[in-house]
Amino acid sequence: MPDINVMQILINFLSLSAFYGLFAVGLALVFGVMKVVNFAHGEFFMMGGYALWLLLALMPGVPLWLVFAGALVIGPLVVAVMGIVVEKAIFEPTSRDAFGGFIASLGLSYVLQALVVMAFGVVSKSLPVMIPGQIQILGGTLTWQRLVVILCGVVMMAALWYFLARTRAGRAVRAASQDRNAALLQGINLRRVRMMTMAIGVAMAGLSGVLMASVINVSPYMGLEAIWKAFIVVIVGGLGSIPGAIVAAMLFGLIDSIVTTIGYGQYVIIIDTVIMLGVLTFFPRGLLGREAPPLDQGQVQRDQFMDGRVCVGLRLALVTGFVAALVALPLMASQYYTGIGILFLINLILVISYRTITTMGGWSFAHITMLAIGGYTTALLQTRLGLSFWAILPLSGIVAMGVALLIAFPVMGTRQFYFFLSTFAAGEAIRQCFIQFRGTFGGIEGIPFLSPPEDLFGLSFYDPVNYYFLALAVCIVSGALLWVFDRSRTGRTIKAMSENENLSAAVGINGLALKMLAFCVGSFFAGCAGSLFAAYNGFVAPTDFTAQFMFKIIAAVIIGGTRTFWGPVIGLVVLTVIEEALTGANQLVPLFWGLIIIFTVLFIPSGLEGLGRRILRRLTAGKPAPATYQGGNDASRA
Amino acid sequence: MLRVHELTRRFGRLTALDAVSFEVAEATIHGLIGPNGSGKTTFFNLATGFLAPNGGRVFWEGGDITGLPPHAISRLGIARTFQNTSNFANLTLRENLVMAARNRVRTGALARMLHLRPARDEEAEHGRIAEAILERFGMAGLADTVAADLPGGTQKILGVAIALATAPRLLMLDEPLAGLNPAEKVQLMEILRGIREEGLTLLLIEHDMKAIMQACDRITVLSYGTLLAEGTPAEISRDPATIKAYLGTEAA
Ligand SMILES: Nc1ncnc2c1ncn2[C@@H]1O[C@H](COP(=O)(O)OP(=O)(O)OP(=O)(O)O)[C@@H](O)[C@H]1O
Ligand SMILES: [Mg+2]
Banded pLDDT at A510 (limits 50, 70, 90)? very high
Average pLDDT over residues A272-288: 86
- Tell me the per-residue pLDDT of B90-115, one tens digit each, with 9 for 90 and over: 899 999 999 999 999 999 999 999 99
H helix intervals, chain B: 40-47, 70-75, 93-100, 109-113, 117-136, 152-165, 182-197, 209-215, 233-238, 240-250
Q: Is residue B66 part of a domain?
A: yes
Average pLDDT over residues A428-436: 89
Which pLDDT does position B18 carry in this prediction? 92
Best mutation site among B14, B85, B205, B227 for ligand 1 pocket (most ligand atoms within 8 Å of CB): B14
- Tell me the per-residue pLDDT of B162-202, one tens digit each, with 9 for 90 and over: 999 999 999 999 999 988 999 999 999 999 999 999 999 99
Which pLDDT does position A629 carry in this prediction? 36
Q: Is residue B17 part of a domain?
A: yes
**Beta-strand (E) ranges in A107-261?**
134-137, 140-143
pLDDT of B78 > 50? The answer is: yes
| Residues contacting A282, CB < 8 A, separation 6+ | none
| Residues contacting A518, CB < 8 A, separation 6+ | A356, A357, A359, A360, A494
Rounded distance between C-alpha atoms, residue A601 and residue A94, angstroms: 8
Best mutation site among B7, B8, B41 for ligand 1 pocket (most ligand atoms within 8 Å of CB): B41
Average pLDDT over residues B241-248: 76
Chain B hits for A500, CB-CB cut-off 8 Å, are: 86-89
Banded pLDDT at A6 (limits 50, 70, 90)? confident
CA distances, A597 to each of A102, A152, A558, A603, A604 (Å) = 11, 36, 7, 10, 10
Banded pLDDT at A564 (limits 50, 70, 90)? confident
Contacts 24+ apart (CB under 8 A), B240-249: B245/B34, B245/B35, B245/B221, B246/B35, B248/B35, B249/B35, B249/B36
CB contact under 8 A, A500 and B89: yes
Which pLDDT does position A548 carry in this prediction? 85
Rounded distance between C-alpha atoms, residue A465 and residue A536, angstroms: 12
Rounded distance between C-alpha atoms, residue A530 and residue A536, angstroms: 10
Chain B interface residues (partner A, CB cutoff 8 A)? 11-12, 45, 48-51, 69-72, 74-75, 79-91, 95, 99-100, 102-103, 109, 112-115, 119, 123, 146, 148-149, 162-163, 165-166
CA-nearest residue to A491 within chain B is B113
Banded pLDDT at A133 (limits 50, 70, 90)? confident
Helix, strand, coil abundance in chain B, percent, nearest 5: 45, 25, 30
Average pLDDT over residues A621-628: 47
Best mutation site among B17, B20, B42 for ligand 1 pocket (most ligand atoms within 8 Å of CB): B42
Produce one character per residue of A202-233: b if its CB has 16 or more CB atoms within 10 Å, e if not: bbbbbbbbbbbbbbbebbbbbbbbbbbbbbbb
Rounded distance between C-alpha atoms, residue A86 and residue A102, angstroms: 12
Average pLDDT over residues B30-40: 92
Judge if the beta carbon of residue B223 lies within 6 A of ligand 1. no
Judge if the beta carbon of residue B39 lies within 6 A of ligand 1. yes
pLDDT of A296 > 50? The answer is: no
A484, A507, A516, best to mutate vs chain B, most B CBs in 10 Å = A507
Banded pLDDT at A496 (limits 50, 70, 90)? very high
Which pLDDT does position A307 carry in this prediction? 53
Q: How many structural domains comprise chain B?
A: 2
Which pLDDT does position B248 carry in this prediction? 61
Task: Yes or no: say if A244 and A237 are a contact pair by the CB < 8 Å rule.
Answer: yes
| Residues contacting A446, CB < 8 A, separation 6+ | A379, A434, A539, A540, A541, A542, A543, A544
- Tell me the per-residue pLDDT of B211-243, one tens digit each, with 9 for 90 and over: 888 889 999 999 999 998 899 998 988 888 888
Q: Is residue B120 part of a domain?
A: yes
Task: Give B243→chain A minimum CA distance, Å.
Answer: 30
Which pLDDT does position A635 carry in this prediction? 33
Q: Which of B101, B97, B87, B79 is nearest to B202 (CA)?
A: B79
Ranges A448-457, B50-59, B219-228: which has the least confidence: A448-457
CA angle B12, B17, B23 (to 5 degrees): 155
Which pLDDT does position A417 carry in this prediction? 77
- Tell me the per-residue pLDDT of B112-148, one tens digit each, with 9 for 90 and over: 999 999 999 999 999 999 999 999 999 989 999 999 8
Residues B73 and B186 in one domain: yes
Rounded distance between C-alpha atoms, residue A233 and residue A341, angstroms: 41
Tell me which residue range forms the domain holding B66.
Answer: 2-77+168-251
CB contact under 8 A, B102 and A511: no
pLDDT of B65 > 50? The answer is: yes
DSSP letters, A541-565, are -GGGS-HHHHHHHHHHHHHH-SSST
CA of A485 to the centre of ligand 1 (A): 40
What is the sign of the dihedral through the CA atoms of A547, A549, A554 and A559? Answer: positive
Domain boundary among B128, B153, B178: B153
Chain A hits for B123, CB-CB cut-off 8 Å, are: 489
Banded pLDDT at A634 (limits 50, 70, 90)? very low
- Tell me the per-residue pLDDT of A219-275, one tens digit each, with 9 for 90 and over: 998 998 889 899 999 989 988 888 999 999 999 999 999 998 888 888 888 999 999
Q: Which of A617, A58, A624 is nearest to A309 (CA)?
A: A617
Which pLDDT does position A300 carry in this prediction? 54
Residues B174 and B73 in one domain: yes
Please report, rounded to a whole number, the percentage of residues in chain A having pLDDT higher than 90. 40
pLDDT of A294 > 50? The answer is: no
CA-nearest residue to B96 within chain A is A496
Task: Give B113→chain A minimum CA distance, Å.
Answer: 5
Task: Yes or no: say if A441 and A430 are a contact pair by the CB < 8 Å rule.
Answer: no
Task: Give B211→chain A minimum CA distance, Å.
Answer: 25
The whole-model pTM stands at 0.90
Rounded distance between C-alpha atoms, residue B46 and residue A444, angstroms: 52
Give the residue, A442 or A52, on which the prediction is more confident.
Answer: A52
CATH placement of domain A12-261: 1.10.3470
CA of B158 to the centre of ligand 2 (A): 19
A488, A502, A508 member nearest B114 (Cβ): A488
B215: domain CATH number is 3.40.50.300
Across all residues in chain A, what is the average pLDDT?
Answer: 86
Average pLDDT over residues A178-183: 78
Which pLDDT does position A563 carry in this prediction? 83
CA angle A500, A504, A506 (to 5 degrees): 125
| Residues contacting B208, CB < 8 A, separation 6+ | B177, B178, B185
Query: Quick count: other Cβ atoms within 10 Å of Cβ A480?
Result: 10
Which pLDDT does position A280 carry in this prediction? 85
Which pLDDT does position A561 carry in this prediction? 87
CATH placement of domain A299-637: 1.10.3470
Q: Which of B29, B10, B38, B19 is nearest to B242 (CA)?
A: B38
| Chain-centroid distance, C-alpha B4 | 16
CB contact under 8 A, B102 and A490: no
pLDDT of A638 > 50? The answer is: no
Which pLDDT does position B157 carry in this prediction? 93
CA of B52 to the centre of ligand 1 (A): 14
Which pLDDT does position A290 carry in this prediction? 67
Helix (H, G, I), strand (E, B) or coil at B7: strand
Q: Is residue B100 part of a domain?
A: yes
CA distances, A447 to each of A275, A435, A454, A480, B155 (Å) = 29, 11, 19, 32, 59
Which pLDDT does position A310 carry in this prediction? 63
Chain A hits for B149, CB-CB cut-off 8 Å, are: 302
pLDDT of A309 > 70? The answer is: no
Give φ, ψ of B6 to 5 degrees: 50, 40
CA distances, A421 to each of A366, A418, A605 (Å) = 10, 5, 22
